[in-house]
Amino acid sequence: MELLFFLIKAAGTILWLGSAVLIVIMAFHDDILWGLVCVFGLGIPPILLIYIISHFEDTKYLFLAYLAGASLLIIGNATPPVGG
C-alpha cells in the first residue's frame, strides 16, 4: 500500500513539474520577457497562472496536466501513514 502512495506522489511530481517546465518553455518561445518572469516566478504560481490565463488557447492542455499533477500530489500526501 505504501508503494502505491509513493507511485501516486512520484507520478504527480513528474506531471506537475514537467508541465510547469513546458509552460515556461512555451513562455520563452512567446517572448523572452514572459519566459524570464515565469522562470524567476516559478515558485510563485500566480505568475504562471497569469501567463496561462493570458495564453489559454495555447496552454490549456498543459494547464490540465498541471492540475492533474497537483491533484495527484494532494491525494498522495493526504493519505494517512501506514504502520509505524
Which CB contacts under 8 angstroms, 24+ apart, belong to 59-66? 59/23, 59/26, 62/19, 62/22, 62/23, 62/26, 63/19, 63/23, 65/15, 65/18, 65/19, 66/15, 66/16, 66/19, 66/20, 66/23
On the question of pLDDT at 81 being above 90, the answer is: no
Higher pLDDT, 47 or 66: 66
Q: Which of 23-37, 48-62, 67-81 shows the lowest per-residue confidence on average (mean pLDDT)?
A: 67-81
Q: Locate 46 and state its grid cell.
A: 500566480
Average predicted confidence (pLDDT) for the chain: 88
Q: What is the per-residue pLDDT across 41-56, written as a single tens digit (0 to 9) for each?
A: 766 678 888 899 999 9
